[in-house]
Chains A and B, each alone.
Chain A
């Protein structure tokens, strides 16, 4: 690889990050809250959040099932089957809940946001707003950014809840564990602020990043069908990487 090409490979993502950062600053600098904005935010919370419920509930339940199955099998060998609920709760609250829900959110709501904004660009709807003296940042970008910030923490809560239901289903109903000790162990091992609160803080950060990247890739998409397709793919890839990197950084600071 020649120097010019390697230079471009290194600087292109940084330039893209810089542009996305400026875009975010512009969006926040023009933030306005009125009844119309709040109504639009709620509408976007419905599209990004409520419409992601099915995938979150199904995946949450099966993650709880498989996590309990694996830990039950391993811990039983060491005579520590009682610790299943502890492992389940801590891994869910601290890591799996926020990370998996964020990845599912990127796949379901993030791609939808990117495609919607990209198509609005391709069909001149963003130009039309601009020409009507309606700020597209205020009307399109801000509600979707804030919706991600609100919707993902709520989805993480639901994901964790259904995963625990999955865990209880496997451990108590299928394997015959004592439901009282299962619940008591979980309660005694989870610290509200450190484990649960930490996970929720992560979910707010992930929601913000996922919404930001989804909106940015839609906004900057080339106005062609190929450009929109590429932008939706970039949203999933960039969000997955950003969430996992951010998760490591946040976990390192929280421990």
Chain B
């Protein structure tokens, strides 16, 4: 059992409704400090909603969101800004600013939030770019970078202020095997070097097994499994098994809810 002081992020009985649809319902989730945690689940299960809750972009309809001793869902204005400076987020496509070079993208949070001199900012930025292997691409614009390189620059930008928590939203989506290997190593290296709490939002089961210390699965609006990747792989829960083994049908149905096929095709009542 994890001590409460070892918990970096905690969601308590969180309910979120968007556009009349319940995304999360009474979700309880604890993310341990200093480890790599994978938040998994089928598409549309509410994984990115967890990210938006923790960064304060979204307020829950019910429940509490905590980072350490700070209740995030009650923060606003400057307090939320201060909290966000301690959270690095790698968004799905990197979200680099296209009118800035890689260097200026990474320098942006430093220029906005610190009073460091330009020579010092230059050193920090080059060190961050070195860490992601792209110091040589410092003067390139995002349009001159490949998809994987963009995400690495965005990772360097996310860790520019040495945050205590790093979020990676679908970091492996659409990457070639080499870029994927680089990303995996990078997340582990950052976690080890900076001692951050890393949260990887993904549905890539195989990569999670190589990367995460801890994993959880969100499905059907709540937490359905929680433990080490090996524990999840050995689970007998039908939903967990379906997800971990990538079975097309099971508790998460292959078919989107619809009328019966013969009714839809108007075959009924035609005396066939």
Contact = CB atoms under 8 A, between A and B. Distances in A.
Interface string A104-141: 00000000000000000001110110111110000000
Contacts of B108: 132, 134
Q: Choose among B57, B95, B108 the residue with the greatest number of A CB atoms under 10 Å from its CB.
A: B95
Contact of A134 (B55, B57, B82, B109): B109
A125 B154 CA distance: 11
Interface in B129-164: 154, 157
Given A133-B81, A133-B84, A133-B85, A127 B112 contact: no
B109 A124 contact: no
Given A131-B84, A133-B81, A124 B91 contact: yes
B97 A125 contact: yes
B96 to A, nearest CB: 8
A124 B93 CA distance: 8
B112 A134 contact: yes
A77 interface: no
Nearest to A130: B57
A132 B96 CA distance: 12
B210 interface: no
Interface string B42-84: 0000000000000101000000000000000000000011101
Contacts of A132: 84-85, 108-109, 112, 157
A interface, by DSSP: helix, strand, loop or mixed? helix
Contacts of A125: 95-98
A130 B51 CA distance: 13
B89 interface: yes
B87 interface: yes
B92 interface: yes
B113 interface: yes
Nearest to B97: A125
Given A134-B108, A134-B112, A128 B95 contact: yes
A36 interface: yes
B82 A123 contact: no
A124 B84 contact: no
A127 B87 CA distance: 14
A134 B107 CA distance: 13
A131 B91 CA distance: 10
Interface string A28-50: 00000000100000000000000
Contacts of A130: 57, 84
Contact of A127 (B80, B82, B91, B111): B91
Contact of B95 (A36, A123, A133, A134): A123
Shortest 3 CB-CB contacts between residues of A and residues of B: A128-B95, A133-B81, A124-B95
Interface of B: 55, 57, 80-82, 84-85, 87, 89, 91-93, 95-98, 108-109, 111-113, 154, 157
Given A124-B91, A124-B93, A130-B84, 17 more contacts: A123-B95, A125-B97, A125-B98, A127-B95, A128-B96, A128-B97, A131-B57, A131-B84, A131-B87, A131-B91, A132-B84, A132-B85, A132-B109, A133-B80, A133-B81, A133-B113, A134-B112
29 contacts: A36-B111, A123-B93, A124-B91, A124-B95, A125-B95, A125-B97, A125-B98, A127-B57, A127-B91, A127-B95, A128-B91, A128-B97, A128-B154, A130-B57, A130-B84, A131-B84, A131-B89, A132-B84, A132-B85, A132-B108, A132-B112, A132-B157, A133-B80, A133-B81, A133-B84, A133-B112, A133-B113, A134-B109, A134-B112
